Structure 1
Amino acid sequence: MNTRLWLAIERALARVRSHRQGLSLAIDAVVIAAAWNLTYLFRLGFERWISARADYDVWVMAGVIGLYLLALVLMRVPQAMWRFAGFAEVRRLAWACAGAGLVAAVVVLMAGWSKIPRSVLALHPLVTLMGLIAVRIAYRMFYEHLRERLSLGGRAPRRALVLGAGQAARLLLAGIQHQGYVVLGLLDDDPAKHGARLGGVPVLGPLASLNDHAARLGITHLIVAMPSLRLPQRRRVIELASRSGLPVLTVPTMQELIEGSQVGRVREIEPEDLLGREPVQLDEAGIAEALSGTTVLVTGAGGSIGSELCRRIAHYGPARLVLFEQSEYALYAIEQELGRRFPHIPLVRLLGDVRDAAQLRRCCLAWRPQIVFHAAAYKHVPLTEEHNAWAALRNNTLGTLHAARAAAEAGAARFVLISTDKAVNPTNVMGATKRAAEMVLSQLAAQGHATRFMAVRFGNVLGSSGSVVPKFQAQIARGGPVTVTHPEITRYFMTIPEAARLVIQAAVIGESGQVFVLDMGEPVRIAQLAQDLIRLSGHSLEEIPIVYTGLRPGEKLYEELLADADTTLPTRFARLRIARLGLQGDEAWVTELARSVELLADGDDREVRAWLRRHVPEYRPAGEPAEPTDAGSCTARADSAPPGGG
């Protein structure tokens, strides 16, 4: 048989699997009846095995069949799956046949039905047991051969249960059969849909009955087909599915469908499905007007945030996109992707380092960008905390000064720094250097440049390089354990596309000297995130445990964003607020910065931290007591700063 025929047989078997118990009893009844007649044939021979029977034999046989079926039900035999038949199944069958045969013999003898041979009563349980075992072994052999043939053909089917019975499920059913899935049922909480059929597939019941139907039907995959659900309800459905222990897939979200994804193309559940928020409505027309036909420069263009910024910017049709990146491979990768997806946009690919002021100046003067997004940074907290403090200061702070001055000299209209929540009351070198970079922009903004300097802060970005989610996924792929620093540690999370869209929006509406804060929603407990990722991978916490390793150098239990009403001002966009900041250093501080950094080149991390403590008032290394902040602090009282000022 060819692969198509084997696949048709598998689908037929999958369709009738929901009636497994009834079919099992029916086949067992036929086997019991056949065993009764075979026993007569063995006892009486071909000449007499029918003619020598009593008139009431057919009624006795019917009673014996009913008795055996009752024994099988009591031993829970019909619930077993024949494709997994083994010794435990044989043992239950043996007890059922022995019990039913004994009762049948006692009843026949006590009723005085002497024309029923005693040898038939004695042999029938044994012949029945052999027959029942034989049909199960034959089915298991056939099923394993079927799976082997399908595997050799590369078409091993997957039995799926779809969560949702709406329009998305209807479209999904129309195309998913060609992807190797056999959909055996749908679940939906709408009682009006229960018992109905969608594309020939039954709606079996509510979502709460998931585990029962999955076990009964031998489901191998769950598919969530509810793209229009609001994210809290979507997360609830995904979490319910993840507790089943089965692989969970989903159709694209509504946002992905808007961007061109197809309903029938299912994908694995990503952390974004659990942690994302409702899409914010942006001023698309305003963004398009600001970016269309302009030259845009992105530093760190091959990084996680920088590359997504490039993708988003390209959607708005800039006249030219200048990619500035230190890593040759990262620059090649983003250039190839953009060239494939946006062939009409001219790309300028520059290998460069933001620590090289002369190179940045040449770049900006050559291409004259109207908007500069500065995403180049060292952002890994433990790496920058130990042995690399000077490198972080030089890259994050001095690099920002170089890029901002080059942009201003070239006449750029806007310069946007990608900052971090760790710049708020920093306890680590990375946060302190990013806070110092914000202070650089504040002073440049006060010097009367035509360029508008602004910064955007946000927390951890899902899937970015060095973030916790890829680390957890790699640990799960290796079989664990998953390491978490502290059971109570929390972080704010945002998806990369969400962060990039809001950064672009801030760049369009921002005024010079402003620091924008992205509303990150509710903080997420990292231990809970680890548990969710383990479950979504189809494992239990017993299989892949979580190990707590202790806080790392410079690490906080929680991060601050200053996104509350007391310390920020609202904008007309729900997710964007403007930090109320006090005076940020002075002009001499900026002038001295480059000279100070070079003088620190021969020093150790302690000297760099000491310099940061002198120049960034809010910086308090982890473990040291905090001191009251003054008017130069980013957390100065709201009334100490002008509204929206830098």
Structure 2
Amino acid sequence: MCNNYKISKVMIIGAGEAGQMVISEIDKNRKKLKREVAVIIDDDKSLLGKLVCGHEVMGDTSKILELIKKENIDEIIFSIANIKSSKKREILDLCKSSGCYTRTIPSMTEIIDCQVDFKIIREVEIDDLLGRDPIYLDTCKISQQIKGKVIMVTGGGGTIGSELCRQISKYHPKKLIILDNFENNAYAIQQELKMKYQNELDLEVVIATIREEKRLEKVFAKYRPDIVYHAAAHKHVPLMEDNKTEAIKNNVFGTLNLLKVADKFKVQRFVLISSDKAVNPTNMMGATKRAAEMLIQTYNDISKTEYVAVRFGNVLGSSGSVVPLFKNQIAAGGPVTVTHKEIIRYFMTIPEAVSLVMQAGAMADGGEIFVLDMGEPVKIDDLARNIIKLSGFEPDEDIKIEYTGLRPGEKLYEELLMAEEGLKNTEHKKIFIGKPKTFNKEEIFFLLEKLKESAFNEREEEMDPIMRKLVTTYIRPEDVNEKHL
């Protein structure tokens, strides 16, 4: 169907302004680009049969596969800059099913001076197939939150932490403090920001672990942060099932150290990065994140600092994400491993998640658990098949898919909000608030003492029962999955 010619025959999808720029660029530089426009597709019925830049519009999107075969198309360039993401996904899915090499132009806002550069006509990426519409931010409110303030990001070298640092830097903080236990990651984001902002950004890197309260006190005493974004955490579910004491030491008691120090040094606002795995947790990682949320709401009642949490699902491309794993497996020739054919997850891009975290943080009054709209859930099996297709292979033929079974503590379906919390709209359509809860503080701190004694003395067999008393929604995974099977 898709033959290799010296000059590639190209199908252009979109005869509007963006498409015309692509067509003109190819026509002007045919030999250099080794491409020629063979087919133009557009859903505007008034254009069918008409000439656009000297080429006939030969059909609408329903004719894509027919015209690929008829005209021996080698390459497709999706050239509609402004389109609903769901429609874009539908068209790109059709293009990828043809087996033809498919690329796309950026959005209209990314095209500068009305010129198309073939360097920015890129391959279709998994983000394009998620069907998520762009988000809109109240940048004035975020700027008021950040500008002229001392901002600290814990876990600042990690996937979410480093993106927080990138986006915070745009809003002119008085000082940005990157706190991380892993020097290589912290160094990488430090060098990136120094190169980008030269001397315009006052930037400090602190190598420290959140497990050491005295070290944190020295750091907070020195820098006096106004706002803390707490992204430092152990997040990998199966690893934390095998290392439960470490999950508790870091995610529960590391967070508790930060909450106490933030209170002591009168931090204005403290934003915890939480997870959908905190909802009715079936694993230790999720239980520790739920415990951290409980501590946020408890400390908000006893401190002048505004403590809030922001909860969301998986982010594409993060260090623990399935996407880099799938890509590595494809590069090795397969198989791609999926735990269960029916398993679903909610996904966001990293910049999108972080933008909404900052928006939620700017809206906070204290005590809220903000829940981000993650869009439609994605079947991991579909995600795996899309990535295989994007890599130029056919699922089950070129690259096999193996189903390995749910791992310990893994759910088929993640939930974003516990039923008893309820859900309230905010001024931002993609951000919601769970109803604040009150807790028995004496019982929480009593159980925390017992949990600390067990964890720091490596008595792992004691920890699960204590965590189930502390986090009463912590349940066995089979109790959740049975009803879905």
Does the Cα contact within 8 Å between 1:295 and 1:319 map onto a contact in 2?
A: yes
The aligned residue for residue 154 of structure 1 is none
The aligned residue for residue 230 of structure 1 is 84
The aligned residue for residue 364 of structure 1 is 220
- CA offset digits 1:388-428 (Å, max 9, x no partner): 10101111111111122222222211000000011011100
1:464 counterpart (298, 307, 318): 318
1:450 counterpart (288, 292, 304): 304
Matched, 1:513 2:367: yes
The aligned residue for residue 495 of structure 1 is 349
**1:239 counterpart SS class:** helix
Does the Cα contact within 8 Å between 1:184 and 1:217 map onto a contact in 2?
A: no
Matched, 1:617 2:472: yes
The aligned residue for residue 220 of structure 1 is 74
Deviates more, 1:394-403 or 1:278-287: 278-287
The Cα of 1:614 is off from its aligned counterpart by 2.2
- CA offset digits 1:610-641 (Å, max 9, x no partner): 22112111111323689xxxxxxxxxxxxxxx
* Aligned residue type for 1:500: V
**1:497 counterpart SS class:** helix
Does the Cα contact within 8 Å between 1:326 and 1:352 map onto a contact in 2?
A: yes
**2:477 counterpart SS class:** coil
For structure 2, which runs of at least 5 residues remain unmatched after alignment? none
Matched, 1:376 2:232: yes
Pair 1:175–1:207, CA change in 2 (3 A):
same
Aligned counterparts of 1:565 and 1:614: Cα–Cα separation in 2: 18
2:35 counterpart (161, 182, 188): 182
The aligned residue for residue 290 of structure 2 is 435
Aligned counterparts of 1:340 and 1:591: Cα–Cα separation in 2: 48
Matched, 1:527 2:377: no
- CA offset digits 1:440-492 (Å, max 9, x no partner): 11221111x22100000001111111111211122222222211111111111
Pair 1:353–1:164, CA change in 2 (3 A):
same
State how 1:60-75 maps to structure 2 within 5 Å.
none
Matched, 1:415 2:270: yes
**Larger proportion of strand:** 2
The Cα of 1:587 is off from its aligned counterpart by 4.4
* Aligned residue type for 2:37: L
Does the Cα contact within 8 Å between 1:276 and 1:495 map onto a contact in 2?
A: no
The Cα of 1:340 is off from its aligned counterpart by 2.1
Pair 1:466–1:554, CA change in 2 (3 A):
same
* Aligned residue type for 2:329: Q
The aligned residue for residue 172 of structure 1 is 22
Pair 1:603–1:526, CA change in 2 (3 A):
same
Matched, 1:348 2:204: yes
**2:414 counterpart SS class:** coil
The Cα of 1:204 is off from its aligned counterpart by 3.0
Does the Cα contact within 8 Å between 2:248 and 2:455 map onto a contact in 1?
A: no
CA RMSD of aligned residues (A): 2.7
Pair 1:251–1:587, CA change in 2 (3 A):
farther
1:304 counterpart (139, 148, 159): 159
Does the Cα contact within 8 Å between 2:272 and 2:310 map onto a contact in 1?
A: yes
* Aligned residue type for 1:249: R
Does the Cα contact within 8 Å between 2:22 and 2:116 map onto a contact in 1?
A: no
* Aligned residue type for 2:379: R
* Aligned residue type for 1:474: N
Aligned counterparts of 2:95 and 2:366: Cα–Cα separation in 1: 48
The Cα of 1:381 is off from its aligned counterpart by 0.5
The Cα of 1:308 is off from its aligned counterpart by 1.1
Aligned counterparts of 1:335 and 1:585: Cα–Cα separation in 2: 42
The Cα of 1:436 is off from its aligned counterpart by 0.7
State how 1:12-91 maps to structure 2 within 5 Å.
none
Matched, 1:203 2:57: yes
- CA offset digits 1:546-585 (Å, max 9, x no partner): 2111100000110111288981111111111111243234
1:556 counterpart (407, 411, 428): 411
The Cα of 1:591 is off from its aligned counterpart by 7.0
**1:412 counterpart SS class:** coil
Pair 1:605–1:226, CA change in 2 (3 A):
farther
What's the % identity of the aligned pairs? 42
Does the Cα contact within 8 Å between 1:563 and 1:577 map onto a contact in 2?
A: no
Matched, 1:272 2:127: yes
- CA offset digits 1:250-308 (Å, max 9, x no partner): 111356559x9966511122221122522233211111122111111001111111111
Does the Cα contact within 8 Å between 1:459 and 1:520 map onto a contact in 2?
A: yes
The Cα of 1:589 is off from its aligned counterpart by 2.8
The aligned residue for residue 547 of structure 1 is 402
Matched, 1:576 2:426: no
* Aligned residue type for 2:277: K
The aligned residue for residue 10 of structure 2 is 160
* Aligned residue type for 1:324: L
The Cα of 1:216 is off from its aligned counterpart by 4.5
Aligned counterparts of 1:304 and 1:506: Cα–Cα separation in 2: 19
**1:479 counterpart SS class:** coil
Pair 1:563–1:236, CA change in 2 (3 A):
farther
Pair 1:418–1:202, CA change in 2 (3 A):
same
Matched, 1:326 2:162: no
State how 1:476-491 maps to structure 2 within 5 Å.
476-491=330-345
For structure 1, which runs of at least 5 residues remain unmatched after alignment? 1-79, 85-142, 148-156, 627-646
**Larger proportion of helix:** 1
